Amino acid sequence: MTLSISLTVNGVRRDIELEDPRVTLLDLLRERLDLTGTKKGCDRGQCGACTVLADGRRINSCLALAASLDGAEIITIEGVSRGEELHPVQAAFIAHDGFQCGFCTPGQIMSAIGLIQEGQAGSDPERIREGMSGNICRCGAYSGITEAVLDAQKSLADADRRSAA
């Protein structure tokens, strides 16, 4: 059976024919749309490497059927910078050494963007760590990740205040 779906991916509408309903959002992004920044780690929702935003919420793209997300707005790591200007979370990960090998980093960054938008963690490092626990870093860059999220959250809040003033 062929299914016709449409997704808005990083601001661009994509009309997609699915020959097989088994395709996950993760496989669609990587194999059909050549957006390979989103990583396939465990493929079972345990590692967080595949984290993207769907309608503004961070989810595991490996556990989402593409067909079921028909009409959704998806943001991947390829869609967060403004041209050459890095997203504040990307810049903070570099400034704070929030990675070593980098494989988990796109998922960490998308998860951090989601966490900051959710607005539940505040500036409490314990709440940041708890909120990021769905993203595993086998290099163990966790202390840098926590610092990066705290710093990015502050710079985003400062930018908001400046634009509101």
Partner 1 sequence: MKSFDYVRPATVSEAIMAAAEPGAVYLAAGTNLLDLMKGGITRPDRLVDITRLPGLDRIERLSDGGLRIGALVRNADLAHDPEFARSFPAIAEALLSGASAQLRNAATVGGNLLQRARCAYFYDVASACNKREPGTGCDARNGENRLHAVLGWSDACIATHPSDFCVPLVALDAVVEIEGRTGRREIAIESLHPLPGNTPERDNALEPGDLIVGLRLPAKARTFASHARYLKVRERTSYAFAVVSAAAALRIEGGKIREARLALGGVAAKPWRGRPAEEILAGASVSDAAFRRAAEAALAEAKPSGDNQFKIELARRIVVRALTLAAAGTPARIPALPGSPFSSVSGAPHDA
Residues 29-48 that bind partner 1 (CB under 8 A): 43-45, 48
- Among 31, 130, 158, 160, interactor with partner 1 by CB under 8 A: 130
Q: Which stretch binds partner 1 (CB under 8 A): 31-39, 82-90, 95-103, 129-137?
A: 129-137
Residues 133-162 that bind partner 1 (CB under 8 A): 133-135
Q: What's the CA gap between 139 and 117, in Å, rounded?
A: 26
Give the per-residue contact string, 61-80, with partner 1 (x = CB under 8 A; - = no). Answer: -xxxx-xx-x----------
Q: What is the dihedral of CA 72, 66, 81, 112, to 10 degrees?
A: 90
Of 8, 11, 10, residue with least CA distance to 106: 10
C-beta of 65 vs 86, nearer to partner 1: 65
Q: List the structure tokens of 104.
A: 């988990």
> What count of Cα atoms within 13 Å lies in the side-chain half-sphere of residue 92?
22
Q: Is 98 in the site for partner 1 (CB under 8 A)?
A: no
Q: Which stretch binds partner 1 (CB under 8 A): 74-82, 85-93, 96-104, 111-119?
A: 111-119
- Among 6, 31, 102, 127, interactor with partner 1 by CB under 8 A: 127
Beta bridge partners of 85: 82
Query: CB under 8 Å, gap of 24 or more: what pairs does 148-151 form?
Result: 148/89, 148/92, 148/93, 148/95, 148/96, 148/98, 148/112, 149/89, 149/92, 149/112, 149/115, 149/116, 149/121, 150/123, 150/125, 151/92, 151/95, 151/96
Give the per-residue contact string, 5-34, with partner 1 (x = CB under 8 A; - = no). Answer: ---------------xxx-x----------
C-beta of 118 vs 159, nearer to partner 1: 118
List residues binding partner 1 (CB under 8 A): 1, 3, 20-22, 24, 43-45, 48, 51, 57-60, 62-65, 67-68, 70, 111, 114-115, 118, 120, 124-127, 129-135
